[in-house]
């Protein structure tokens, strides 16, 4: 499974990238706002830092304007993935940009029907939003399962990018189902290393080691 980090904060990306934990990055207008940076400037910096796809999102809502913005974003670097909303205009823009050889991430997916349309339009990635479905008492993992089944049934190459990840369990469940990619905030990815029994065992080892009076160096 590929790990994308969902942030526009350079320091957070660099820390995980140094550990080999970053296969790509996703950003959106809200994350750009939080960073306080210019979208073209920060996207270029992220693209220079990581080798994998970096999603940069358009803000237009009409197809022709989306295409124009998408082309502008794609000029930043070869690893830019143009991020488009899953609307009819977004699908039109996806088809055009894909046919031009650009990577496209179709986002804000909440149904398997939407995911099927995105695959037909040639999307590189489809981003089903797990957490936001959970927020309204729907099972986000059922959506991942449905998309996986449909894509496997017909051989679609669009990669399932599980998004709106809120917990380590979301990551585990996505991996079990067979999502190709997850994108999560840095704190959630780092939380995967945590376990109370690890902490307890380490404390016991250190206490016993102290009693030996030894040093390694």
pLDDT for 154-179, tens place per residue? 999 999 999 999 999 999 999 999 99
Given this model, what pLDDT does residue 114 score? 98
Given this model, what pLDDT does residue 144 score? 98
Nearest to 169 by CA among 199, 214, 139: 139
Instruction: Place 74 in a pLDDT band, splitting at 50, 70 and 90.
Output: very high
Given this model, what pLDDT does residue 29 score? 94
Catalytic site residue from 83, 187, 190, 215? 83
pLDDT for 117-127, tens place per residue? 999 999 999 99
Given this model, what pLDDT does residue 19 score? 96
Query: Can 83 be counted among the known catalytic residues?
Result: yes
CB 84 within 8 A of CB 66: yes
Sign of CA dihedral 169, 12, 29, 125: negative
Given this model, what pLDDT does residue 143 score? 98
Average pLDDT in the 114-143 region? 97
Structural domains present in the chain: 2-212 (3.20.20.70)
Instruction: Place 20 in a pLDDT band, splitting at 50, 70 and 90.
Output: very high
H-helix segments, the chain: 10-18, 29-35, 39-49, 63-74, 88-99, 112-120, 130-135, 140-154, 168-177, 186-191, 196-212
Tell me the CB-side half-sphere exposure of residue 118, using CA atoms within 13 A: 33
Across the chain, mean pLDDT equals 97
102 sits in which H/E element: none
Distance CA 168, CA 26 (A): 18
Given this model, what pLDDT does residue 135 score? 95
CB 100 within 8 A of CB 68: no
Given this model, what pLDDT does residue 107 score? 98
CB 179 within 8 A of CB 161: yes
Given this model, what pLDDT does residue 7 score? 97
Other CB atoms within a 10 A radius of the CB of residue 36 amount to: 9
Q: What is the pTM of this model?
A: 0.95
Q: What percent of the chain has pLDDT over 90?
A: 100
Average pLDDT in the 61-87 region? 98
Q: What percent of the chain has pLDDT over 70?
A: 100
Nearest to 56 by CA among 117, 104, 5, 114: 104
Given this model, what pLDDT does residue 101 score? 98
CB 54 within 8 A of CB 43: yes
Nearest to 160 by CA among 184, 180, 183, 140: 180
């Amino acid at each position: 499974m590929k790990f994308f980090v969902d942030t526009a904060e350079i320091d957070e990306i660099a820390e995980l990238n140094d550990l080999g934990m970053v296969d790509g990055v996703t950003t959106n207008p809200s994350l750009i706002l939080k960073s306080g940076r210019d979208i073209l400037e920060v996207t270029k910096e992220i693209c220079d830092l990581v080798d994998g796809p970096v999603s940069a999102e358009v803000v237009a809502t009409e197809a022709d304007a989306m295409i124009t913005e998408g082309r502008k974003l794609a000029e930043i670097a070869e690893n830019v993935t143009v991020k488009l909303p899953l609307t009819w205009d977004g699908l039109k823009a996806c088809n055009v940009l894909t046919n031009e050889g650009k990577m496209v991430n179709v986002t804000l997916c909440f149904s398997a029907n939407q995911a099927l349309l995105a695959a037909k339009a040639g999307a590189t990635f489809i981003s089903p939003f797990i957490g936001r479905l959970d927020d309204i008492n729907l099972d986000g993992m059922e959506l991942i399962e449905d998309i996986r089944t449909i894509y496997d049934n017909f051989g679609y190459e669009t990669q399932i990018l599980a998004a709106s990840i809120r917990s380590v369990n979301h990551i585990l469940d996505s991996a079990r189902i067979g999502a190709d990619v997850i994108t999560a905030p840095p704190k959630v990815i780092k939380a995967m290393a945590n376990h109370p029994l690890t902490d307890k065992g380490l404390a016991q080892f250190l206490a016993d080691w102290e009693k030996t009076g030894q040093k390694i160096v």
